[in-house]
Amino acid sequence: MVKECRLPELGENIEKGTVTKVLIREGDVIAADQPILELETDKAILEVPAPAGGKVISIHVQEGQKVAVGELVAVVSDETKVEPSAAATPQKPIEETRPTSLIEEKTPRIQEQPSEKEAAPQPLRPAASAPTPAPPVIPPKVSRKGTGPVPAAPSVRRLAREIGVDINEVPGTGPGGRITEEDVKSYARQLNVDAAPIVAVSAAPSTKPVTVALPDFARWGEIEQVEMSGVRKRTAEAMSYAWTNVPHVTQFDKADITEIEKLRKSYGKQVEQAGGKLTLTAVLIKLLPAALKKFPRFNSSVDMANETLILKKYYHIGVAVDTDRGLLVPVIRDCDKKSLMQISVELSQVAERARSRKTTLEEMQGGTFTVTNLGGIGGSAFTPIVRFPEVAILGVSRASMEMVYRDGEFVPRLMVPLSLSYDHRVIDGADGARFLRWICEALEQPFLALLEN
């Protein structure tokens, strides 16, 4: 079957680019996601991955040429022998409706009856129109014929061994399925992506991150081996995944909480009587839904497989709780519908439940945004890791009295440092700054936030 590779969406606001290098040649056998072009855009030089694998029949761009998203780049075939003429289809004008799938399948239009979609073998990547949770992209499994030894040079086999890759699993792109050094490296990169949890499941990603063998530390001194707890393992997996796959940006700002601190103290007793504790975290949780409504992308998830953003219309805020088992993040639901009093009480309850190991898995799922407050311990700033599939997290450090220059003089104010990390695929820097500033101003003038809501 012949497939057209068109220039895929490469990022927001990237409509076209100039080809700086063509990385494939006609006749090459390429794997899906293998880089095929180097493209210079307004933002950067990008490697363009192949939307589908197969034998390259024809290439329709050349170096120096401008190419727009959706334009034909190359034609590949997953069959061994294809008449060259079959592939030489005239280039379609870009104005034509952009293909929903990046892979357009050319099947002979002889039989109309059995639906073409069913008759055609599945493309290597799921079509973009697929509904509901898209499966993660799986690297093509090796389809080597025969059961003989692996077609890889000794140096390549050694490389695989040293970086912890099973050479038998690496798809070879060379003649006769030979595995090159680059094949091993790109497979290793793919393994990281492959370790992704399915988008729809929020709590614990199930797949393990790539592990690398460690030296024998006992050679240099005494050691003790402690088994990782379940919480630790899940945290390690989730954090590795997020750190590897979410392009993080962290921004810092400071909020003047002198006034809110006075209010907090004067109403603290009342909340305490209700069984809660009026903390800065509670105040933030109360304010956050307003911020998330104003900046809806901060309350979203990104579905790269289907190239869509999922904007959530509910505001469930996760709160990082330090327990003796490790970090737990119970979720307070529908914070936009709860009073500060309710939130304060609930926050005390979930924290207590987490510390006494009563939190259920369900109570930790479904969060849309997370707050992590290390202020009780100290520190002036930190870079929290986004809890995938959420796209942003707000870190709070210890508040302190600072001399602030205001109305022509230095005045002592209680300032709290805030650190906002977010997924740069979804949120741009300016929006990050605006969001964080909004939070700061809301803390400084809570009444404004109420006005806007």
Binding-site member from 151, 268, 366, 446 for other proteins (CB under 8 A): 151
Binding-site member from 43, 66, 98, 158 for other proteins (CB under 8 A): 158
CB nearer to other proteins: give 5 or 29. 29
- For position 145 contacting other proteins by CB under 8 A, the verdict is yes
CB nearer to other proteins: give 144 or 264. 144
CB nearer to other proteins: give 148 or 378. 148
Binding-site member from 103, 150, 199, 328 for other proteins (CB under 8 A): 150
Which helix (H) or strand (E) is 18 found in, with range? strand 16-22
Q: Are strands 317-319 and 331-332 parallel, antiparallel or unpaired?
A: antiparallel
What is the dihedral angle through the alpha carbons of 247, 438, 412, 264, rounded to the nearest 10 degrees?
A: -110
Report in angstroms how near the CB of residue 190 gets to other proteins at its nearest. 21
Report in angstroms how near the CB of residue 200 gets to other proteins at its nearest. 38
- Give 222's strand partners: none
Q: Where are any strands of DSSP class E within 330-408?
A: 331-332, 369-373, 392-396, 400-406
**Number of residues forming the site for other proteins (CB under 8 A):** 25
340-355 vs 280-294: helix crossing angle, rounded to 10: 120
- For position 149 contacting other proteins by CB under 8 A, the verdict is yes
For this structure, is 424 an active site residue? yes
Segment 203 to 242, residues that bind other proteins, using CB under 8 A: 213, 215-216, 219
Binding-site member from 64, 114, 175, 378 for other proteins (CB under 8 A): 175
Binding-site member from 161, 189, 208, 337 for other proteins (CB under 8 A): 161
Cα angle 264, 269, 272; round to 5: 100
Report in angstroms how near the CB of residue 148 gets to other proteins at its nearest. 5
Report in angstroms how near the CB of residue 182 gets to other proteins at its nearest. 14
Binding-site member from 59, 152, 195, 371 for other proteins (CB under 8 A): 152
CA separation for the pair 98, 69 (Å, rounded): 9
Binding-site member from 128, 153, 249, 414 for other proteins (CB under 8 A): 153
Q: Which residues contact 67 (CB under 8 A, 6 or more apart)?
A: 7, 16, 17, 18, 19, 37, 39, 61, 73
**Helices H, strands E: what count in the chain?**
10, 20
Report in angstroms how near the CB of residue 223 gets to other proteins at its nearest. 15
- Give 174's strand partners: none
- Token pair 């989730």 is found at 238
SS3 433: helix
CB nearer to other proteins: give 99 or 174. 174
CA separation for the pair 306, 185 (Å, rounded): 26
Which helix (H) or strand (E) is 75 found in, with range? strand 72-77
Dig out the tokens for 233 from the structure: 């393992």
CA separation for the pair 67, 37 (Å, rounded): 11
Set 60, 248, 316, 424: catalytic member: 424
Nearest to 397 by CA among 377, 420, 375: 375
CB nearer to other proteins: give 162 or 334. 162
Contact (Cβ atoms closer than 8 angstroms) between residue 204 and residue 238 = yes
Rg of the chain's alpha carbons, rounded to an integer?
27
The site string for other proteins over 97-136 (x = CB under 8 A, - otherwise) reads ----------------------------------------
Report in angstroms how near the CB of residue 149 gets to other proteins at its nearest. 4
- For position 177 contacting other proteins by CB under 8 A, the verdict is yes
The site string for other proteins over 271-290 (x = CB under 8 A, - otherwise) reads --------------------
Report in angstroms how near the CB of residue 18 gets to other proteins at its nearest. 36
Nearest to 3 by CA among 87, 97, 109: 87
Taking CB under 8 A as the binding criterion, the range among 35-43, 140-148, 317-325, 431-439 that sits at the site for other proteins is 140-148
Dig out the tokens for 102 from the structure: 């990046």
CB nearer to other proteins: give 72 or 156. 156
Q: Are strands 308-311 and 331-332 parallel, antiparallel or unpaired?
A: unpaired
Report in angstroms how near the CB of residue 158 gets to other proteins at its nearest. 8
- For position 142 contacting other proteins by CB under 8 A, the verdict is no
- Token pair 């929006």 is found at 431
Report in angstroms how near the CB of residue 222 gets to other proteins at its nearest. 17
Segment 359 to 378, residues that bind other proteins, using CB under 8 A: none
Nearest to 291 by CA among 344, 341, 255: 255
State the catalytic residues: 424
- What residues make contact with other proteins under the rule CB under 8 A? 145-154, 157-158, 161-162, 172, 174-179, 213, 215-216, 219
